[in-house]
Each structure stands twice: as C-alpha cells, then as structure tokens.
Amino acid sequence: MDNGVSRRELLKASVIGATVAMGGIATAHAGETTDVRIGNSVKSADWKKEKHVPLIEIPQMIKAGEPFIVTMTVGKDIPHPNTTEHFIGWIALYFKPESGAFITQLGKYEFSAHGESSLGANKGSSYADPCAMAKVKLNTSGTLTAVSYCNIHGLWESSIPVTVA
Ligand SMILES: [Fe+2]
C-alpha cells in the first residue's frame, strides 16, 4: 500500500478491533471493543466453591472515621495451589462510596515467593500464602471489592457492602 501501512498490518489491526492510523499506530475505538474490556475478564463466584475468589472479612460494626482491619484471603475453604508454576500473584482492595462515581484503590498486596530456587522449581525455602490484612478508615458507606490474580486462571473478584455508623 502507498501510505506505508501494509495489508498485513491492516488485517491484524482489524482482528484486534483497532484501527491503524496513517503512521501505523493502532488506536482503539470507544464502543467497538466492549467485548474485550478488562472488566469482562474478571470472574466471580462463591468463594466456598471456587478457590480463586478472594474472601473479604471485616468487623460487624464500623464507625465512620475509625480505622478497622480488612482481611483478604484466597483459598480459605478450598486451598489454591501455591507452587512455582501456579500461584496467586496479588490481591488488590478497592472502595466505592455509595454516593460516588469513582472507585479508590486502598492497596495492592503482592505474594512474591512460590518455592522458586536456584535448585529448581518448588525447591525454595519460602512460600507467600495469599492472605493480606489492610488497616483502612472510611468516612462513608459503600462497597469494598477485592480482586485477586492467579498466574494461570486470571482475575477474580468479590465484594462486600460496608455500612458505617
Ligand atoms: Fe489458579
């Protein structure tokens, strides 16, 4: 083609739902790629039946402006594998106020050791279990959401409503 963009590049761009601009840069079109938005790839299920779903635990009584502990656990009832090849890499915690349009990330907790070693896979001395505790303070009611990442099975989420007194 005479604009410097090859037919192959154009075909490739159309497959991924993008358009190649004159300079050969791929750009996404709003509204045309809804099937590939990241939210559509985040799975959810009952944490008692699905080992990837993060369980969120909070106190029964939460007072506005007073710190409390949020515990996030993957695999509390059904343990998830924790090996060099298959592990939970992180859990992130978010809060969406009931009257707000935007979500806040409260924290992201990485699990970095899964038995890796110079001796080989699963021969290491340490493993990080996918459990994290966060101390947070809320001034309003809303929803806490945890998202976990498995290196094999992707993103999983769960949410819990929070009413502050
Ligand atoms: Fe997994």
The amino acid that residue 24 corresponds to is G
Which residues are within 5 Å of ligand 1 (an ion), measured at CB?
150, 152-153
Q: How many angstroms does the Cα of residue 92 sit away from the middle of ligand 1? A: 16
For residues 28 and 130, give the distance between their C-alpha atoms in angstroms, rounded to a whole number: 35
- Whether 80 is catalytic is yes
In the predicted structure, residue 27 carries a pLDDT above the cut 70: no
Residues forming CATH 2.60.40.730 domain(s) in the chain? 42-162
pLDDT tens per residue across span 76-113: 999 999 999 999 999 999 999 999 899 999 999 999 99
For residues 37 and 34, give the distance between their C-alpha atoms in angstroms, rounded to a whole number: 5
Mean pLDDT (the chain, rounded)? 88
Contact (Cβ atoms closer than 8 angstroms) between residue 74 and residue 52: yes
User: What predicted TM-score, i.e. pTM, was given to this entire model?
Assistant: 0.81
In the predicted structure, residue 14 carries a pLDDT above the cut 50: no
Fold exhibited by the domain 42-162: Immunoglobulin-like (2.60.40)
Task: Count CB-CB contacts under 10 A for residue 74.
Answer: 28
- Whether 29 is catalytic is no
